[in-house]
Amino acid sequence: MVLGRIGEYLLGGEMRLNRDAAVKGLSRLGNPINTALEAIRLAVLEMARAVRLVTVERGLDPRDFTLMAFGGAGPQFAPYIAEELGVSTVIVPPEPGAFSALGLLMADERFEARASFPRDLEDGFKRLEDELLGRLGRVDYFLRYADVRYVGQGWELTIPVGKPASIEEVERAFNDRHYATYGFKLSKPIEVVTIRVFAVITRVKPGSRLQRPRVRQGLGASGRSSSMTGLRRLFTGVRTYR
């Protein structure tokens, strides 16, 4: 709010924030504008670090991805995070503040069954699929995964498995994933520690009916748009806008 990135009024004007109090609070730490800019820079670095944990440290290059910005403040930070990571494209969905809630309502249902150290892959997967189908009564489709490691290794990588399942395909996929994740692969036999099956029941996906409210545009006596509620200064750290 001190930087002008959000206004003083929320909830359609029903809630008013106290900008003067915010400026006074930050003034205890120094220049309030500079303090706010540095706080946001630190937040951006921390969020970019979190993205690197699930990309770079897993052998993935964030520059190969698109950044999806949602949540109440996600779109405000997304351009800065993308710049820090070298990501060239940012997507902001309609009504980003409600994006997670909409996802919860529209997400397909998934149910999991698993088994450890199967003797026969295809037979093991079929048994799990039959178990889930018997419990649920209806399944739209199944997803198969296997937790795999080199013999003697202390951790596993989860590999998608096709149908019919074969140990040769699993070994090839595991070696590729291991190389992409850790930068090397070994000439050692593998072992399948756990097989997993997800039974998916799809939900009907309604078309988006979200519409932004229409505001009638026009010029008032001052020459300004009649829909304008006020002016404020916006500090970006590079330029100041009004």
Residues 151-200: pLDDT tens digits? 999 999 999 999 999 999 999 999 999 998 888 999 999 999 999 999 99
**Mean pLDDT score, 90-114:** 91
Residues 115-149: pLDDT tens digits? 999 999 999 999 999 999 999 999 999 999 999 99
User: Distance (Å, rounded) from C-alpha 22 to C-alpha 7?
Assistant: 12
* Position with higher pLDDT, 7 vs 26: 26
User: Distance (Å, rounded) from C-alpha 196 to C-alpha 175?
Assistant: 19
User: Distance (Å, rounded) from C-alpha 242 to C-alpha 233?
Assistant: 5
Per-residue pLDDT at 60 exceeds 60: yes
What are the structural domains, with CATH classification, of the chain? Answer: 9-102+222-241 (no CATH), 109-201 (3.30.1490)
Q: Which residues face 110 on adjacent strands?
A: 200
User: Distance (Å, rounded) from C-alpha 215 to C-alpha 136?
Assistant: 49
* Global pTM exceeds 0.85: no
Residues 203-214: pLDDT tens digits? 988 765 655 555
User: Distance (Å, rounded) from C-alpha 1 to C-alpha 22?
Assistant: 8
